[in-house]
Amino acid sequence: MYDYDLLVVGSANADLVIGVERRPDAGETVLGSDLVVHPGGKGANQAVAAARLGARTALLARVGDDAHGRLLLDSQRAAGVDTAGVLVGGAPTGVALITVDPSGDNSIVVSPGANGRLTPDDVRAAGSLLQAARVVSAQLEIPLETVGEVVRSLAPDSRLVLNPSPPRPLPDEVLAACDPLILNEHEAKVILGEAYAGEKPEDWARLLLAKGPRSVVVTLGGEGALVASSEGVSRIPAVKVRAVDTTGAGDSFTAALAWRLGLGESLSDAAAYAARVGAATATREGAQVSFPTAQEVAAL
């Protein structure tokens, strides 16, 4: 038996959000709304999203000994996340600067801060957490060598879900452990590099699968998603909603998919559920405050 349905190893940031009529071009200044500060970061977001849905969730991350770090810890605990693996100190808490336009689309710049100090030694020291998790989810807002150590520390029967964001080329060891690798079009282009070809997402998915992951999920925004494995490639239809703010929607999608896979669902069924969770997230402003409960997803 596993103590956790999901262990998230990743980033924790304070999201500094400004609404804008349109995002500025290079060299241009635009006026925006009042600044709002939310708890965020891809790792912290995924942990809260999973816990909100009912998953037994833990977070392995690093925050600063500052007000932003306290905000993040309070948010995790309020959602029911086990924060025993959250380390404090070493650098200021990471910060994400986010602009959101009227359509709900966003642009994000991240200052990693303490996230960049989450080391392979920290992963080794948290070995009991990794051994107690049915599924482990990671992203790339922490050092790549730390993600590599996560791969080497997985329990024999556990499953790794990786969202390579921000994207960079991945070593074979990490690619081979992904089940699935979850990424959008931009991330797919970076991971594929010179191998990128074809206009259809199905082509990207097959090329990505050939690079070594056990399965692949490509998210397509309003076009839904597709899943690829040794069993083939299939489309997951989008859930139509009126988007208010897409911040965190990808993180809640990943968290939901990881949790449902851990429950034994097929990749297609888990992705279909995750699409509903991501859609529900986009109907509200903010990241963690927008994540739905299982009851809210069922009512969508």
- Mean pLDDT computed over 88-102: 92
For position 197, what pLDDT does the model report? 62
- Mean pLDDT computed over 281-299: 86
Helix (H), strand (E) at residue 82: strand 82-88
What's the chain's average pLDDT? 92
- Model confidence at 229, in pLDDT bands (50, 70, 90)? very high
Residue 194 exposed, middle or buried by CB count within 10 Å (0-12, 13-18, 19+):
exposed
pLDDT tens digits, 146-170: 999 999 999 999 999 999 999 999 9
Q: What span, in angstroms and rounded, lies between the C-alpha atoms of 252 and 42? A: 9
**Which residue, among 15, 20, 19, 85, has the nearest Cα to 47 in the 3D structure?**
85
For position 186, what pLDDT does the model report? 87
For position 128, what pLDDT does the model report? 95
Flag the least confident range among 50-54, 134-138, 190-194, 223-227.
190-194
Q: What angle do CA 129, 133, 138 make, to 5 degrees?
A: 85
Q: What span, in angstroms and rounded, lies between the C-alpha atoms of 274 and 250? A: 9
For position 266, what pLDDT does the model report? 96
Over 70: is that where the pLDDT of 196 sits? no
**Residue ranges per structural domain of the chain:** 4-298
10, 43 contact by CB (below 8 A) = yes
Q: What span, in angstroms and rounded, lies between the C-alpha atoms of 203 and 300? A: 31
**Which residue, among 79, 86, 1, has the nearest Cα to 45 in the 3D structure?**
79
What is the identity of the amino acid at 111? S
Q: What angle do CA 204, 154, 184 make, to 5 degrees?
A: 20
- Model confidence at 49, in pLDDT bands (50, 70, 90)? very high
Q: What is the CATH number of domain 4-298?
A: 3.40.1190.20
Greatest mean pLDDT among 68-77, 180-189, 286-295 lies in 68-77
234, 218 contact by CB (below 8 A) = no
Greatest mean pLDDT among 140-149, 191-200, 214-223, 285-294 lies in 140-149
- Residues known to be catalytic: 251
Over 90: is that where the pLDDT of 238 sits? no
Phi, psi of 240 (to 5 degrees): -80, 120
Over 80: is that where the pLDDT of 198 sits? no
- Mean pLDDT computed over 277-292: 86
Over 80: is that where the pLDDT of 245 sits? no
